[in-house]
Chain A
Amino acid sequence: MTELMSNDELVQLLTPEGERIAHHEYGSSLGGDDILGFYRDMFIVRRLCNESTSLQRQGQLALWAPVLGQEAAQIGAGRALAPMDFTFPSYREHGIAWCRGVPPEDMLRIFRAVTNGGWDPVKYRHALPTVVLGNQALHAVGYAMGVQRDGAEEAVMTFFGDGASSQGDVLESFVWAASFNAPVVFFCQNNQWGISTPSTLQSKVPLYRRAQGFGFEGIRVDGNDVLAVYEVTKRALEHARAGGGPTLIEAHTYRMGAHTTSDDPTRYRVDAEVEVWKHRDPLERTKALLVREYAVKSAVFSEIALEADDMAAKLRDDVLAMGRPDPLSMFDNVYAAPHPLIDEGRREMIELGVAEGAR
């Protein structure tokens, strides 16, 4: 079982029971409406995730990567972003995509296997997910170097997990970010497992401590505490925008579900561990706070549940309506300019009559 080392601090503003606790450096700037908004986000993203898992089980998606259990890490981080910031995600960042305004159906296109993309990354200022672990961290730093050259007050945030933290690209991105003082925030969701590989095999020291060796601040936050994640991320983004350089945030969280719908976590982890983390559920503690401190009525939660159901129903309809793409579309946008092999392939496909409409 993965546990914190006793001498490693974890920024936490809300206990698993939903009680506020004081932190010497961070306090919550959020009002009741903000917290309720975050709860709504988390609830909807969980609903989106569960609907997607069902769709996969029903044969409507090729794969799904559940975000279950990591909602606070993603909503806290995602809501700390400013509109002009740019994000570079891995493949599990459905909560970040939600915060960036990516329509849920667009998030599922890649899992429906009708595209290798899904949304316009420039429009939403949210890059396409990177499946090769860690590649995106370098893209984020490069983008941040562009922000610096433009003299813009924007921050860049990239997301990866404890597994990807072992990748050379992530470590090279730390070097680059430090050397060039790039306005980037590295947001590592340590969900304890890289498929079956425990985070203890990825690192012999807590991941956030790695930043120190590269020359910038690392901080560990309770990734299931949306209040703490928001404050820590907000400060790191402001630090970046103000020219202070990079920060590594390690959000200590847990992947409650499987790595993907192709995975079977019962083969490598014990139920007792999952039970421990169930008591740290990010939604439950936020709800407890809302009820206790802001007297949010059950009708409000029912409304959110209805809204989530509507979203899920629409998502299901949208996914089922996603048909097979025109095979000829595979030749589009491979190159910016004409290319003889693209022309040749397209011509051959048309001649063979396999293109849509020719069947």
Chain B
Amino acid sequence: MTTTTMTMAKALNEGLRRAMERNAKVLLMGEDIGKLGGVFRITDGLQKDFGEDRVIDSPLAESAIVGTAVGLAIRGYRTVCEIQFDGFVYPAFDQIVSQVAKLRKRSEGSYTMGLVIRLPFQGGIGAIEHHSESPEAYFAHTAGLRVVSCSTPNDAYWMIQQSIEHDDPIIFCEPKSRYWERGEVDLENPPHGLFDAVVRREGNDVTVIGYGASVKTMLRAAETAATEGVSLEVIDARSVAPLDLGPMVASVKKTGRFVAVQEAPHMASIGSELVAELTERCFYSLRAPGLRVSGYHVPYPPSRIEDEYRPSVDRILDAVDRVMGFES
């Protein structure tokens, strides 16, 4: 096994590079992704190596980034669109929901909407407004789309390649606060399928499920809980839509309790879906209702107070205490 240590940002860069080397039809398009390498440097050096025709610095209009990627898909290209920040995806929302999601069905399979929309999401970097949002539920709600999120450099490296190879359109959510964290990357074999949920830490008392930046927070919570004698099983959903419920159901049937963690507000969220699905599938195994630890139902706050908004170790542990307190 050839492994190397790199940051998530570098892993994404290397994953994109490999996908471009493998398939000449893979293009990158977005704002400032060429010479600058993107505001997060995810595409650093790629325009230099693959040229301006394949790494396209676009004018500043998100609907056009996605809308032209649709036309390129019809022509047989696979475009990886970079939306600079989560909060800037909404101008493209119409194209994503009205066109990207529906055209395969409308053409009864004649069109292949092979495109990836990269979305740096979630908060935690001290940004100003519109730079820290979690819009994944909007897309998860839409039939025709798939939504995934990486939480480690190894997943970032492989999931971006798997997304580009996949024939369905993928909203690829990157936890921007983890871009600079390092981890082992296996350069030879993908660790999992693109849509697989993965148990990151085994435990017996409470199942904690989340994705993206929340995974590391959940693992920290598990460390702390362990010192207090509570054993958390941590599941990285990885695929937000569809949800890979199999490993989650197995875990909840074992623990009888679960907590869903997300930065988005809980109203009509992925966490709400997890509570509904797991309650339905694990009803007779449950020893407490599933709880959600989420952002609050407010616009993403100014970042000086974002730590109070985002799910923290303390808030996760509080929810763990509450589900443990339901003991019958």
Residues of A within 8 A of B (CB): 86, 88, 115-117, 120-123, 127-128, 130, 132, 135, 137-150, 168-169, 172-173, 175-176, 179, 332-337, 339-341
Contact = CB atoms under 8 A, between A and B. Distances in A.
A175 B102 contact: no
A179 B64 CA distance: 12
B108 A176 contact: no
Contacts of A142: 67-75, 79
How extensive is the interface on chain B, given as a class? 35 or more
Given A128-B103, A130-B99, A169-B63, A141 B71 contact: yes
B111 A176 contact: no
- Chain A binding surface SS class: helix
B104 A336 contact: yes
Nearest to A172: B64
A149 B110 contact: no
6 contacts: A121-B111, A128-B106, A141-B64, A146-B75, A333-B108, A336-B168
B3 interface: no
A150 to B, nearest CB: 7
Nearest to B111: A121
Of A122, A147, A332, which is in contact with the most chain B CB atoms at under 10 Å from its CB?
A: A122
B144 interface: yes
Nearest to B70: A139
Given A135-B95, A333-B105, A337-B166, 9 more contacts: A139-B99, A140-B71, A142-B71, A142-B73, A172-B64, A175-B64, A334-B104, A337-B167, A339-B242
A250 to B, nearest CB: 21
A193 B70 CA distance: 29
B59 A175 contact: yes
B71 A146 contact: yes
Nearest to B106: A117
A333 B109 contact: yes
A332 B72 contact: no
Given A128-B103, A132-B94, A169 B71 contact: no
Nearest to A117: B106
Given A173-B67, A336-B167, A143 B75 contact: yes
Given A143-B75, A169-B67, A336 B99 contact: no
Contacts of A116: 102, 105-106
Given A135-B95, A142-B68, A173-B67, A117 B108 contact: yes
Contacts of A334: 104-105, 143-144
Interface string B96-120: 0011001111111111100000000
A138 B58 CA distance: 13
A45 B9 CA distance: 56
Interface in B105-140: 105-112
Contacts of B79: 142
A66 B85 CA distance: 43
Nearest to B144: A334
Contacts of B110: 120-123
Given A132-B94, A139-B74, A334-B143, A168 B168 contact: no
Nearest to A120: B110
A332 B109 CA distance: 9
A132 B98 contact: yes
B104 A173 contact: no
B70 A138 contact: yes
A16 to B, nearest CB: 37
Given A132-B94, A149-B53, A172-B61, A335 B104 contact: yes
Contact of B72 (A120, A127, A137, A143): A143
A139 B166 CA distance: 21
B168 to A, nearest CB: 5
A123 B167 CA distance: 20
Contacts of A141: 64, 67-68, 71
A340 B245 contact: yes
B74 A335 contact: no
Contacts of A117: 105-108
Contact of B77 (A149, A173, A336): A149
Contacts of A140: 71
Contacts of B167: 336-337
Nearest to B115: A142
A40 to B, nearest CB: 30
B76 interface: yes
A121 B73 CA distance: 13
Contacts of A335: 104, 144, 146, 168
A135 B102 CA distance: 13
Contacts of B245: 340
